[in-house]
Amino acid sequence: MPKSKLQAATVGGSADDIETAFYEALQTGDIEKLMGCWADEDEIVCVHPGGPRLVGAGAIRASFEGMFANGSILARPERVHKVGALASAVHNLLERIEVMTPEGPRQAYVIATNVYHKTAQGWRLVAHHASPGTLREMQEDSGSSQVLH
């Protein structure tokens, strides 16, 4: 995986900084910035809603490149719950995603867990697991929504 500007810039950053960069990369469709958020380890893992477990940078990169082929992903993290320790952090959150439908833009919801480890390069994402949001989450924010990642 090529080293990105993000990796050099965030050595002293936090898990929150990497999470911000991850969602900015989704919103701009920047695959290099997105991959720069991930740890440089063979066992990193990503699960998209309803999808298989993807292990390793190659598989994760290919999945996001496929998504970015259709444009950026307008995902915004909300309701973040954090558990942290000296060298790890777990963030569980609601992703509010804007999707375009024939009727116009709609809101969709995903429940995601992001796991970060403090590495030699600074904080990095080691796992992203996303599941479809439930009707309850959707009703709390909007009356007409779809579930999608």
Q: What is the pLDDT of residues 77-131, one digit of tens each?
A: 999 999 989 999 999 999 999 877 788 788 889 999 999 999 998 999 999 999 9
57 lies in which domain range? 11-93+109-131
Residues 6+ away with beta carbon under 8 Å from 24 = 30, 33
pTM: 0.82
In a domain, 24, yes or no: yes
b/e sequence 114-142, b meaning 16+ C-beta within 10 Å: bbbbbeeebbbbbbbbbebbeeebbeeee
Contact present, 77 and 23 (Cβ < 8 Å): yes
In a domain, 48, yes or no: yes
Per-residue pLDDT, averaged over 73-80, amounts to 90
In a domain, 142, yes or no: no
Number of domains in the chain: 1
Dist. CA 79–CA 100, nearest whole Å: 23
Strand partners, 109: 96
Angle at 51 between CA 48 and CA 52, to 5 degrees: 110
Task: Write the CATH number for 58.
Answer: 3.10.450.50
In a domain, 17, yes or no: yes
Closest CA to 108 of 82, 86, 141: 141
